[in-house]
Amino acid sequence: MERLTSCWNCGKNTEQIHFCGSCSSLQPPATNYYDFFGFEHRLNLDPAALEDRFYRLSRRLHPDVYFRRSAREQQFSLDATAILNDGYRTLKNPISRAEYLLKEKGITASENGRQPPPELLEEVFELNEMLEELRQGDDSLRPQLEEAEQRFLKLRDEIDCRLQVEFELYDASGDRSRLLEVRSLLSRRRYIRNLIEEVERELVGA
Amino acid sequence: MSGLYQIDFGKPERVVGIDLGTTNSLAAFMDLTHPQVIPDAGGERLVPSLVSMAESGEMVVGNAARPLLIEHPERSVYSVKRLMGRGAADVGEEAALFPFRIAPESESVIRIELGERRFTPPEISALVLRQLKSNAEAYFNQPVNKAVITVPAYFNDAQRQATKDAGRIAGLDVLRLVNEPTAAALAYGLDKREEGTVAVYDLGGGTFDISILKLKDGIFEVLATNGDTHLGGDDIDNLLIRIALEDIQSEWGEDVAGSGEAVQRLRQAVIGAKERLSFAPFADIVFEYRGRQYRRRLERELFERLIAGIVDRTLGPCRACLKDAGLTPERIDEVVLVGGSTRIPLVRRAVETLFRARPHTELNPDEVVALGAAIQAGILSGEVEGKLLLDVTPLSLGIETMGGAVEKIILRNSTIPASATQTFTTAVDGQTNVLIHVLQGERELARDCRSLARFDLKGIEPLPAGMPRIEVRFLIDANGILNVTARDARTGKEQTVEVKPTYGLTDAQVEAMIDESIDHAEEDFQARQLMEARVQADHILAAVEKARQHDAYYGLSELEKQQIQDAVNQLMLAYHSDDYLLIRAQIDHLNGVTMKLAETMMNEAVRGALKGTRI
């Protein structure tokens, strides 16, 4: 983590995030979202606590508050608020939060997101045929497609449940193998989400 | 500025809030606890966003330009906000309805021809801003150099940049651009309720915005915004004008569409009828031109059928905004209406039906945005505490990738400031620069999005292809404007980025316009002196009028009364001249001849006070 150990303003060593412990001037921001918010690096996060922290930090860091301060602090405030907002967006959503934590732990997203999970191969093949026919103007397949969409939505919900279980197991144990499981669930989920989006686009557009 | 104002260090610097509107503009300030509109010397609160070039070449702004719009429509500009940050191709057929001409070389910045001169939209807007600035200076009797200016929430980067440029050209340090619906929410003070969800529907002269906000303990967090920067009351006017023109042609057997004067007269006639229809079941469009009269009664029912399509165009963005905010209409606690066009009953009904809530209309829809801007100015200056706006970027930001596709790096409705970092490399050995094409919009292909700028990363160390690693940081600031910085990831060295905006002015062009506006500072000085002299004249004329009701006045001789009347007449004649020295001389003269009257009144007041009786 690239954090200054001594304050740019008073020169004293500071261990605190955001503000100097001695002179309370704004410090260059921490770049890790978990550290920035002051949360443990966990997969589960209480949304209410996150929102509360977001509002609290916004009040203290936002550029509106630094208008009459030094150019340096104004720059820190802008950088810090950008990280605050980017981090809030990332951590608020469980999926992007998990992706972020995996990346942080050096587990890169697998390319499997483009490949259909083996057990879905047949169904995806069928779906693509239906979509093609719909594009050609055959509206009679609409009910079948809507049915397929419902099936995929249900599948996605199942994955979300399993993710939730894995999140809890990882948070309790810190076991890296759990993260690998999370990765494979995420890539399945990504694939299914793409399918749902495609079906929705065709159903609306047609 | 020297000599005009006494610099008084005891006075705090004023930061004003400005609503730079399509039809009207106005400024407001924080008066201790409440925002207040700043009127001009004559007490007018709105400055029409109208600029005309008089025959003398002098630029006339606001109400004073109204007669010129009829006399010399080809030298007058209105609704310039619709041209901000746009190129000629964007304006298309709408240009035909404008009385002014757009110069041929207007691809990236529109150039408006007035007489021999050419103006860009930011320069025209700067004239309106300058008028507001000098009104505020006369009002406070101190210089005003800082402002918060509002923009439609759905304005893209180029339109925001153009607004900021206009401020700079007008000599204003633009501390912040605030989105109009967010400003309105601030003015309504809806944060008094601890928690809630508010929709702000803003239909103005030329733009439409919808924003959904979450309010909690003084924080105004925008959840989503949507809109159309080319939809507003102007479209209703243009529709009515087209219909009336056809009607006139069949009635008179003459097409008057080619006459700028006729079209402007007709424009005023249909606007008048449109406004009356908000309160009456019918209204007459009365148009007189070259001794002939056209009169057409318009029932509200027909009017509503005519404009239904325009009102409907606002509903799609409203639904999209709800979807982006992840809310159903029932979840909206309150709805706020902003913009003059929301006075139309059909618009109110449409909003009420969609959100299933009776909208707030307590504040004047023409003023509410400026009042909110003044509150934001107060937040920045530290006068207002406990409130914070968290706004979003209305459009996704993307970069063009191989094959003309767009990779989105900051999604729409992200809270700003927002940032994204991307690493770029070279494709050819020894390549020393990389060009990045940045776009805004939701579509998949670059050609369907709005080109924002090309950023040229220069001075890359010549290395084998793929070796250099240039980290580029895209940051959308609190104004919604993109800033790009780059550094060499291997050396950590800052990298030069040259910006080529697709639409809009380069920094050098803006600087040149600022210089030019300083050249006109002498004229501005005259204008300000004139305005101040008129304010002074207003005061003394009002005082004399009041004194004439006083007993002391009846004690004067006929000759003395006659002298006062003559002096009043002379001042009134001087009042409408351009000669501020003459106005001042007449003020002094009137002061002189009323001296005795003032003394008598004073004495009587003292006597009255001593006797303890009321005077």
Distances, alpha carbon B49 to alpha carbons B64, B128, B326, B467, B482, in Å: 11, 6, 37, 54, 27
Q: Best interface-test mutation with A: which of B390, B410, B494 has the largest number of A CBs within 10 A?
A: B390
Q: Residue B477: closest CA among chain A residues belongs to which residue?
A: A78
Contact A78 B475 (CB under 8 A): yes
CATH assignment at residue A47: 1.10.287.110
Domains B233-311 and B521-611 share a fold: no
Q: Residue A81: closest CA among chain B residues belongs to which residue?
A: B417
Asked whether residue A105 is assigned to any structural domain, the reply reads no
pLDDT in tens, A67-95: 888 899 999 999 999 999 999 999 999 99
CATH topology of domain B397-505: Substrate Binding Domain Of DNAk; Chain A, domain 1 (2.60.34)
User: Do residues B153 and B209 touch, judged by C-beta distance below 8 A?
Assistant: yes
Which one is catalytic: B81, B146, B164, B274? Answer: B81
| A183 and A130 belong to one structural domain | yes
pLDDT in tens, B523-542: 666 776 777 788 788 888 88
Q: How far apart are CA B565 and CA B545, in angstroms?
A: 10
| A196 and A143 belong to one structural domain | yes
CA B260, chain centre distance (Å): 25
| A85 and A45 belong to one structural domain | yes
User: Do residues B580 and B529 touch, judged by C-beta distance below 8 A?
Assistant: yes
| A13 and A67 belong to one structural domain | yes
| A79 and A135 belong to one structural domain | no
Name chain A contacts of B379, Cβ cutoff 8 Å.
Answer: 64
- The tokens for B224 are 């989503």
Does pLDDT of B49 surpass 80? yes
> Among the three residues A63, A92, A121, which one is the final residue of a domain in this structure?
A92
Distances, alpha carbon B218 to alpha carbons A78, B368, B376, B421, in Å: 21, 18, 13, 32
Asked whether residue A8 is assigned to any structural domain, the reply reads yes
Domain B521-611 -> CATH class: mainly alpha
Residue with the larger pLDDT of the pair A27 and B348: B348
Contact A64 B389 (CB under 8 A): yes
CA angle at B313 for the pair B308 and B317, rounded to the nearest 5°: 145
Q: How far apart are CA B21 and CA B149, in angstroms?
A: 10
> Among the three residues A35, A59, A92, which one is the final residue of a domain in this structure?
A92
- The tokens for B524 are 């501005």
Which of A67, A68, A81 faces B417 most closely, judged by CB atoms? Answer: A81
Mean pLDDT of chain B: 88
Ranges of each domain in chain B: 15-231+313-389, 233-311, 397-505, 521-611
Contact B219 A58 (CB under 8 A): yes
Name chain B contacts of A55, Cβ cutoff 8 Å.
Answer: 216-217, 219
Name chain A contacts of B390, Cβ cutoff 8 Å.
Answer: 58, 62, 85
Does pLDDT of B405 surpass 60? yes
| A122 and A51 belong to one structural domain | no
User: Do residues B60 and B52 touch, judged by C-beta distance below 8 A?
Assistant: yes
Please give the interface size between A and B, counted as residue pairs whose CB atoms are below 8 Å apart: 51
Contact A59 B381 (CB under 8 A): no
Residues of B with CB under 8 A from a CB of A: 175-176, 216-217, 219, 379-382, 388-390, 414-420, 475, 477-478
Distances, alpha carbon B532 to alpha carbons A11, A29, A192, B172, in Å: 53, 50, 70, 20
Residue with the larger pLDDT of the pair A94 and B497: A94
pLDDT of residue A19: 85
pLDDT of residue B615: 38
| A62 and A123 belong to one structural domain | no
Parallel, antiparallel, or unpaired: how do β-strands B112-114 and B208-216 relate? Answer: unpaired
pLDDT in tens, A122-164: 777 788 888 888 777 777 778 888 888 888 899 899 999 999 9
Domain with A33, as residue range(s), is 1-92
Residue with the larger pLDDT of the pair B480 and A108: B480
Contact B419 A82 (CB under 8 A): yes
The dihedral sign for the CA sequence A90, A95, A98, A102: negative
CATH architecture of B233-311: Alpha-Beta Complex (3.90)
Does pLDDT of B215 surpass 80? yes
Asked whether residue A58 is assigned to any structural domain, the reply reads yes
**A63 has a chain B CB within 8 A of its CB:** yes
B180 is catalytic: yes
**A62 has a chain B CB within 8 A of its CB:** yes
**A3 has a chain B CB within 8 A of its CB:** no
pLDDT of residue B525: 66
Q: Count how many domains chain A has.
A: 2
Which one is catalytic: B40, B123, B180, B191? Answer: B180
B202 is catalytic: yes
- The tokens for B85 are 């940050």
Asked whether residue A99 is assigned to any structural domain, the reply reads no
Asked whether residue A100 is assigned to any structural domain, the reply reads no
Q: Best interface-test mutation with B: which of A66, A69, A81, A91 has the largest number of B CBs within 10 A?
A: A81
Q: Looking at the complex, report in whole angstroms how far the Cα of residue A119 sits from the nearest Cα belonging to chain B.
A: 31
pLDDT in tens, B6-43: 334 456 789 999 999 999 999 999 998 899 999 998 88
CA B591, chain centre distance (Å): 40
**A91 has a chain B CB within 8 A of its CB:** no
Name chain B contacts of A85, Cβ cutoff 8 Å.
Answer: 390, 414-418
CATH topology of domain B15-231+313-389: Nucleotidyltransferase; domain 5 (3.30.420)
Residue with the larger pLDDT of the pair A192 and B271: B271
